[in-house]
Structure 1
Amino acid sequence: MAREHVTLPVYMAYCAIAGALRPWNRKGSRAIVTLEVQDDYYTPLYAQAARVFAAEVWRPNEWEDPHVFEWSDKSGRDEVQAEKSQRAIFLSPPEYRLTEENRLFSDAVIPMGPRTRRHAEAALRRAMLPVDESTIDLLMSESWSRLSKAFQDRRGPLQALERLRRTSVPIAKGVELQTTESIGPTLAEMHGIGPAVEWGNNLAKDLADYRAGVIGWKDVDGGVLISGPPGGGKTMFAGALANTCQVPIILGSVSRWQEAGALDEHLKAMRKSFAEAKSRAPSILFIDEIDTVGNRTESDRNRGYFRGVIAALLELLDGFERREGVVVIGACNYPQLVDPAIRRPGRLDRHLEFAPPSAQSRLAILDFHSGLDLDGDQAEKFEFATDGFSGAEIERLVRDAKRVARRRSETLSADHIVEQLPSVTALPEDLLHCIAVHEAGHALVGFEIGHGQIADIRISGFRIDGSRRELGFVEFERAGPRRRIKTTYLDAIAVNLAGAAAETEVFGSFTDASSGASMGDLNRATDLATAVEGGLGMGHTLVVERVEQEQLARMRLYNHELRNQVHQLLDNEFERARSIIRAQRPALNALSERLLEKRTVPGEEVVQILQRHRRVTVSLAKPPLRMGA
């Protein structure tokens, strides 16, 4: 099965198709067969499985593309192509009634049953995953659409299963979420979603004014696109927004619309969601997975289908009067895949991004789900171990902790929470000292050369076993627009090298923590130096090359003169950073000691420490001028 990538759900559908087509399961078969599918059906997935069967079992070397079609009232052209090749598979969806002409054209019409547990077992074995009842139950209970979305080429089957397990089915269609019923949180209880809360509170005020007749619908923000990683709280935000606004919320999931069947049924389901929202206005219509609706610039075998869907969606979104009283929230994981016309002014023209929650937000989310307030080492362990966790992952962690407490007949406590965290090991004092010196070096050199205002500096006293994660960092506030000249890049290189320079100055050498990963200090410094010498015309020559990330290493590999120039630049900036640290060693020591004591030092205190212990020296802020031809 090489021509088509076969994901786990595709293989499940393939098993059903191969079983139905057993009489033609041999090379060289010539037949035009109709598969009459039942309610358990999803067009894109079954079509892909049928193409796999046609391409890999029939071996159609004389034709370019396996002919797989779906019967409809306009299948005349498909029949011509099928007759020409003498091999084709027609899928008859549940809502389509085969005509006598369809049956006469087909060599056989074979009813297909729904998926079976044997199909799920076979797919799990092929993916080399454990075959257990809970996993089979999951594969049997999830819709084909959700299975298809979870199992993608770019992710492994185990990762896909985990995503399915932690992603619960969102708000049921037509369910009202109102604050008066206290179902779910309000925006006041949402944490870690940034500007979305402010936008939601403004919307609540505008809707109240609209209902009171103070403002018209044109003054209400009637559409927004929200994006973020799975489990990032998009669905919960929609429910909390409805609670805060005290309006009903209606689900209009793209995958559920697709499950309705062929294009006509798909469009009917979509229009029904908008009509329901309109009938209950003012209301919120939450459209999940809007990035999967397609893009009119795509060109594939399904482009006609998806263009029809997008055109109908644009028509429903158009105009405030047409959907007066309905606030449309489109949620997605990949906003760049959303058709630009959907984001046009008057439709979903505002975009709110949900970033992973900060450490403080994660503690607040934990408090909301568990009622527990961690402090001291427990809070530090939780913040470190849950770095990158979504709100849904923290909720699952609390659920697991509550289960453990119930099994032991104990009251839920912080110990149960910590017990569910990934395995965390306390760092030895000598390693912690090294990390503190490293991060203090970054901050000191950045301060001395005016690289930017320091927001904060922090180190962790723990590490997650088996994980290579940053154990400390210095955060510089983003600078506004400015001229970016050669000195700008040299300063950035010096700051990146300052951690290793500080370690070298204090301990005589630096550790491998400065390199290896793509975002390692030495890696970033090397790429910046390559860009200066070979990509920006700021080195020995004005001749430039492409400066895309993937080209930088290739430039160094095949251009030895460039590699030597990069080496010389890095060496100069490393020595520059060491000179600054050597001259300001008391400030470095004071800052690293404070870091060991507090683990997190805010930017204002960092500056105070560096100013208090700073020695007056000849300025080292300017890099040495290098004379050359």
Structure 2
Amino acid sequence: MLAGALAGTMGVPLIATSYTACQAAGHLGDYLAAMHGAVDAAIARAPSVFFLDEFDSFGRRSTGDHGGHYTRQVVNDMLQQLTRLHDAPGVVVLAATNAPELVDPALRRAGRFDLTLEIGPPDLAGLRAILAAHLGAAAPDAKALIEAARALLGQTGATAAAVAREALGLARDDTAPIGPAHLAAATARHAPALPPGDLWRMAVHEAGHILLAAARVLPMPKRVTIGATGGAAELPMPRFLTAEATLDWTAMLLGGRAAEHVLLGAASSAAGAGEGSDLDRATDLLVRMELEWGLGDCGLLHAPVPPDRRAWLPDALRHKVSVLLHEAEDIALDALIAHKTHLARIAKALATERSLDRADLEELLQDFDPTPPPEPEPTTRKATIVPLR
């Protein structure tokens, strides 16, 4: 969508291809011919936009798999084609990937791609604009657009465009102008409404992260949203962390779980729901502090552990990480209990609006005092170590 929008704004042709499209032509020679043909077209039709989708599919030359020779040929040829495009006046080159770490470093360096942008899901205003653009003059009233956009939070722009097309189709089936009911029905198919209990739990969970960020004087999120599949707070991780800062960020990551304890009486599985979850990221921070950064009890040691090997950590280290996680959760609980009114205020606003930006959060926290409450009496918590069999 971005490449098409850029080409449309510039009023120039879009030439789009991908590894899959070119590889479908046949063997290596056919692939190379297809890629050269796409590049030739972009240069011949300049000014133009040349778009490479699935950029990570081209692979990395450093991999030692059985297809390494093929991958080297593909990547080396792509380097040559990018040089041709760079030297051709009037060609803007874009590439998209969901896994930038899998792209060969030589393909990413300056001179081939001068700018890297991380593009997340569109916000409320963006979703509303996408719906309005695809519905055109047939769009229903502004209230219906906002309600549909709010329900689509967390979805991609492509999903919003699909909802608009489906709403137009439903209206055609009814031989009637498109109305709020058509848009609501199409939206519900792509983003079913959340049960009220789930919506409130998500709002409480995300409010916990926000309040912990404020309590530990961490950067405020750019935006926090609740979509059909869960909540997300855009918190920029700093480049460097001290041991103290690592514990602060761990407490923030466990703030959602702690907030569920404070306002709902018990935590749910949300904090540990798979790879990239709050508990996964918190555990990763502490393991890296101990084994990579030289900031823990293991001393000056650099021994990275892949996430899928964490279960085989020595019992003593597992115990240490578990104790630190409990310590961070205690920090989170103390802060949220002390500021329970602010926690509930943020959760209610988030449950209603489904999306809050930094200005909204600052307004909700304008009377917030991050000064920590008096230290409670020390308590001892013992982590339970489950032996691996």
Separation of aligned partners in 1, 2:96 and 2:145: 34
Contact 2:124/2:355, CA 8 A, preserved across alignment: no
Contact 1:404/1:416, CA 8 A, preserved across alignment: yes
Question: What is the aligned-residue identity percentage?
Answer: 27
Q: Counterpart of 2:207? A: 440
Please name the residue that 2:4 is paired with. 236
Corresponding residue for residue 516 of structure 1? 273
| 8 Å CA contact retained: 1:584, 1:614 | no
2:298 to 534, 541, 544: 541
Residue matched to 2:135: 370
Shift of 1:417: 2.2
CA distance in 1: counterparts of 2:127 and 2:143, whole angstroms: 15
C-alpha contact (below 8 Å) 1:366/1:398 kept by paired residues: yes
Specify the SS of the correspondent of 1:500: helix
Deviation at 1:405, TM superposition (A): 1.4
Shift of 1:352: 5.2
Q: Which amino acid aligns with 1:405?
A: A
Equivalent position to 1:579, from 320, 334, 340: 334
Counterpart for residue 420 of structure 1:
186
- The DSSP-based 3-state class of the residue aligned with 1:538 is coil
Is the 8 Å Cα contact of residues 590 and 613 (structure 1) preserved in structure 2? no
Equivalent position to 2:252, from 465, 487, 495:
495
Aligned counterparts, 1:186-335, within 5 A: 233=1, 236-237=4-5, 240-241=6-7, 243-248=8-13, 282-284=46-48, 286=50, 288=52, 291=55, 318=83, 324-327=88-91, 329=93, 331-333=95-97
Shift of 1:489: 1.1
| Contact 1:534/1:562 (<8 A) preserved | no
Q: Which runs of 5+ in 2 are unaligned?
A: 380-389
- Other structure's SS at 1:329 match: strand
Whether contact under 8 Å (2:215, 2:371) holds in the other structure is no
Alignment of 1:372-387 (within 5 A): 372=139, 375=142, 379-385=146-152, 387=154
Q: How many angstroms apart in 2 are the aligned matches of 1:540 and 1:336? A: 31
Structure 1, unaligned stretches of length 5 or more? Answer: 1-232, 464-468, 625-629
8 Å CA contact 1:529–1:566 kept in 2: the answer is: yes
Deviation, 1:541, is 3.4
Is the Cα contact below 8 Å between 2:50 and 2:92 reproduced in 1?
yes
For 2:212, give the aligned amino acid. Answer: V
CA 1:303–1:287 in structure 2 vs 1: closer, same or farther (change >3 Å)?
Answer: farther
The code of the aligned residue for 1:515 comes to G
Deviates most, 580-589 or 289-298: 289-298
CA deviation vs aligned residue, 1:308-352 (integer Å, no higher than 9, x gap): 77666655654689x543515354546666665555655555555
Distance 1:387 1:446, change over 3 A: closer
What are the Cα deviations for residues 371-406 of structure 1, in whole angstroms up to 9, with x where unaligned?
226655763454444633342x43333222222211
Superposition map of 1:432-471 within 5 A: 432-459=199-226, 463=228, 469-470=229-230
Query: What are the superposed Cα offsets for residues 383-437 of structure 1, whole Å, 9 maximum, x if unpaired?
Result: 444633342x433332222222112111122321221233623433x65554444
Residues 380 and 349 (structure 1), Cα distance of their counterparts in 2 relative to 1, 3 Å cut: same
1:90-109 map, 5 Å: none
Report what 1:551 is aligned to: 309
Contact 1:440 1:499 (8 Å CA) reproduced = yes
Classify the secondary structure of the residue corresponding to 2:254.
helix
Do the aligned partners of 2:14 and 2:51 also contact (CA within 8 Å) in 1? Answer: no
- Contact kept, 8 Å, 2:262 with 2:337, in 1: the verdict is yes
Give the structure with the larger helix fraction: 2
Which residue of the partner structure matches residue 149 of structure 1? none
Q: Does the Cα contact within 8 Å between 1:259 and 1:266 map onto a contact in 2? A: yes
**For 1:528-587, what per-residue CA distance to the aligned partner results, in whole angstroms no more than 9, with x for missing partners?**
3444445544343327442432232321xxx22223323322222222222222333333
Residue by residue, what CA displacement relative to the aligned partner does 1:30-85 show, whole Å, maximum 9, x if unpaired? Answer: xxxxxxxxxxxxxxxxxxxxxxxxxxxxxxxxxxxxxxxxxxxxxxxxxxxxxxxx
Structure 2: distance between partners of 1:497 and 1:359: 27
Report the more deviating stretch, 404-413 or 325-334. Answer: 325-334
- Quick one: structure 1 residues 339 and 273, their matched pair in 2 at CA, closer, same or farther if it must change by over 3 Å? same
**Per-residue deviation, 1:364:** 1.3
Select 2:325's aligned residue among 555, 561, 570.
Answer: 570
Aligned residue for 2:267, secondary structure, equals: coil
Work out the CA distance in 2 between the residues paired with 1:290 and 1:598: 34
Tell me the amino acid that sits aligned with residue 217 of structure 2: G
Backbone CA RMSD of aligned residues: 4.3
2:316 aligned with 1:561, yes or no? yes
Q: Distance in 2 between matches of 1:571 and 1:356?
A: 33
Does the 8 Å contact 1:359/1:387 carry over to 2? no
Contact 1:343/1:350 (CA < 8 Å) preserved in 2?
A: no
Give the alignment's TM-score, normalised by structure 1: 0.49
CA contact 1:249–1:283 (8 Å) conserved in 2: no
Residue type matched to 1:488 in 2?
A
Change (3 A) 1:347 1:526: closer
Query: How far apart, in 1, do the equivalents of 2:289 and 2:104 lie?
Result: 37
- Whose relative contact order is higher, 1 or 2, with alpha carbons under 8 Å and at least 6 apart? 2
Counterpart selection for 1:399 from 157, 165, 176: 165
Q: Tell me if structure 1 keeps the 8 A contact 2:226–2:232.
A: yes
Taking a change above 3 Å as real, the CA distance of residues 515 and 297 of structure 1, as seen in their structure-2 partners, is closer
In 2 relative to 1, CA 263–328 (structure 1 residues): closer, same or farther, beyond 3 Å?
farther
Structure possessing the higher radius of gyration over alpha carbons:
1
Aligned length: 371
Distance change (3 Å), C-alpha of 1:364 and 1:347:
same
- Which whole-Å deviations, capped at 9, do the CAs of 1:581-618 have from their partners, x for residues lacking one? 23333333444444455444443443444452659764
CA distance in 2, matches of 1:537, 1:298: 30
Task: Report if the CA contact (8 A) 1:587-1:614 is conserved.
Answer: no
Distance in 2 (alpha carbons) for counterparts of 1:396 and 1:332 = 20
Alpha-carbon distance change, 308 to 455 in structure 1, aligned in 2, over 3 angstroms: closer
- The Cα shift of 1:487 comes to 0.6
Q: Which is further off, 435-444 or 375-384?
A: 375-384
Residues 608 and 316 of structure 1, relative CA distance in 2, 3 Å threshold: closer
Q: TM-score, normalised by structure 2?
A: 0.73
The equivalences for 1:166-205 within 5 A come to none
